[in-house]
Amino acid sequence: MAAFDYTALDTNGKQKKGVLEGDSPRQVRQQLKEKGFVPLAVEPTVQKTQTKGAKVSNKGTISASDLALLTRQLATLLQAGIPLEETLKAVSKQSEKPKVISMMLAIRSKVVEGHSLAQALTEYPKAFPDLYRATVAAGEHSGHLDLVLEQLADYTESRYQTRKKIQGAMIYPVVLVIFSILIVVGMLTFVVPKIVGIFEGSDQELPALTQAMISSSEFLQSWWWAIGLLIVAAIMGFQKALQNEPFKYKVHANILKVPLIGKINRGFNAARVISTLSILSKSGVPLVEALRISGQVSGNLCIREAVIEGAEKLKEGATLFNSLDQSGYFPPMMMQMVASGESSGELDSMLGRAADNQERELEDLVSTIVSLFEPLMLVVMGGVVMVIVLSIMLPVINMNSSIG
């Protein structure tokens, strides 16, 4: 049976959307009528995602947490000996999200029609990337899909947890920066004009710092809207410029040159590439093809290009160490572990250890930066507030000196 997305009116006249299985749209309409619904539209799920290009990007994606959960459920049920068709149906019933239910039933329909699971997953390339599909295809080819999915579940969960840790560590610094900017803008806009206005009627000449603060405050009050529009325009213009591949490449290359940010970016992408290579290699994907796919997961174009060039060198007979080390984007410790794995014949396990080691180093580095950022931000904020207070107090001190 195929999966169909439906839109219908319930007994209260409210519109409902969902997914049902049936041999034909007519059968699905009959099922809806038996439930007391009035069918408005019934359309095959797979066909809908293929024909409505505007909706593919929305319906064809799922979150990292959903992907990790789906993979774990598939691995668990297959290891329990449940057939693939029933496994996909059970996973669709476990989800409470219509988008995921629709996706899993559509994949099940393709499997029932005789396609492999990897082929069925190609209907949703944004939800299941090349890495995922290649790993599943290798598992089906080797006859150990359940074990391969177990490894893939560990990988997706580890990636998700690492991402959450980094995002969680960055929340506090971002919030602190935003509130600091708001406080300074508020003081310049509302506090400084009222206090400094007291001295405008006096004949004494205001200190240079006070005059500069008054000018900044007046400029901010008069042109705050222009500043806001300029910031928005700059952000939108930069995002549009990033759609140009040469410009995006230059930006990524410059990011790698920034002392601290470049190190974090290299470490993060190196960990992603090596951990992806590890899971693909363990799943039986040929090393050249695995390296090519691994390069696609890198978010930095420079590193991605270096990995793809490394795959070509590997194809020509070079070792994995020589193929990647010449780029200079991978940490020396990681490269030494790769070389050790090649020489000992335990490359698969050594790749996993190298990826885990790099992720731990990255987490430690991010934690250290975040711990140092808080006192540094407080010092900067204290300095800004001190300048504002001095600009207010200097005229008072000068006035008292004159009176004295």
Mean per-residue pLDDT for 350-366? 84
- Under 8 Å between Cβ of 340 and 252: no
20-34, 124-138, 318-332: which range is least confident on average? 20-34
Cα–Cα distance for residue pair 8/39, rounded to 1 Å: 4
pLDDT of residue 43: 77
Question: Higher pLDDT residue, 129 or 196?
Answer: 129
pLDDT of residue 49: 43
Banded pLDDT at 56 (limits 50, 70, 90):
very low
Question: Higher pLDDT residue, 300 or 393?
Answer: 300
Question: Higher pLDDT residue, 297 or 351?
Answer: 351
Tokens representing residue 213 in the block: 């603060």
pLDDT of residue 403: 61
H helices of 187-207, in order, are 192-196
- Identical topology for domains 2-59 and 67-157: no
Cα–Cα distance for residue pair 286/134, rounded to 1 Å: 10
pLDDT of residue 108: 85
pLDDT of residue 124: 86
Gyration radius of the chain's alpha carbons: 29
Banded pLDDT at 250 (limits 50, 70, 90):
very high
pLDDT digits (tens, 9 = 90+) for 111-152: 887 888 888 888 888 888 877 887 788 778 767 788 788 878
Cα–Cα distance for residue pair 266/329, rounded to 1 Å: 6
Domain boundaries, the chain: 2-59, 67-157, 162-404
Banded pLDDT at 1 (limits 50, 70, 90):
low
Single-letter residue type at 5: D
- Under 8 Å between Cβ of 350 and 340: yes
Of all residues in the chain, the percent with pLDDT exceeding 70 is: 90
DSSP helix/strand/coil, 204:
coil
Superfamily for domain range 67-157: Type II secretion system (T2SS), domain F (1.20.81.30)
The hierarchical CATH code for the domain 2-59 is: 3.10.20
Q: Which of 196, 202, 199 is nearest to 215 (CA)?
A: 196
pLDDT digits (tens, 9 = 90+) for 297-308: 788 889 989 999
Tokens representing residue 257 in the block: 């040159």
pLDDT digits (tens, 9 = 90+) for 266-275: 888 888 888 8
Of all residues in the chain, the percent with pLDDT exceeding 90 is: 6
Q: Which residue has the tokens 């509130």?
A: 179
With residues binned 3-state (H G I as helix, E B as strand, rest as coil), the percentages for the chain, rounded to 5, are 75, 5, 15
Task: Look at the domain 162-404 and name its fold.
Answer: Receptor-associated Protein (1.20.81)
Cα angle, residue 218 at apex, residues 212 and 219 outer, rounded to 5°: 90
Cα–Cα distance for residue pair 234/315, rounded to 1 Å: 43
pLDDT digits (tens, 9 = 90+) for 212-241: 877 888 888 888 889 889 999 999 999 899
Banded pLDDT at 247 (limits 50, 70, 90):
very high
Banded pLDDT at 254 (limits 50, 70, 90):
very high
Most confident of 46-60, 70-84, 93-107, 364-378: 70-84
**What sign for the dihedral angle of Cα 369, 371, 373, 379?**
negative
DSSP string, 150-188: HHHHHHHHHHHHHHHHHHHHHHHHHHHHHHHHHHHHHII
Angstrom distances, CA of residue 127 to CA of 75, 110, 116, 271, 286: 17, 16, 17, 21, 23
Q: Which residues pair with 38 in a beta bridge?
A: 9
Cα–Cα distance for residue pair 33/39, rounded to 1 Å: 7
What is the rounded average pLDDT for all residues in the chain? 81
In b/e form, how buried is each residue of 29-43, taking b as 16+ CB within 10 angstroms? bebbeeeebebeebb
Who's near 352: CB < 8 A, 6+ residues apart?
275, 278, 282
Question: Higher pLDDT residue, 38 or 330?
Answer: 330
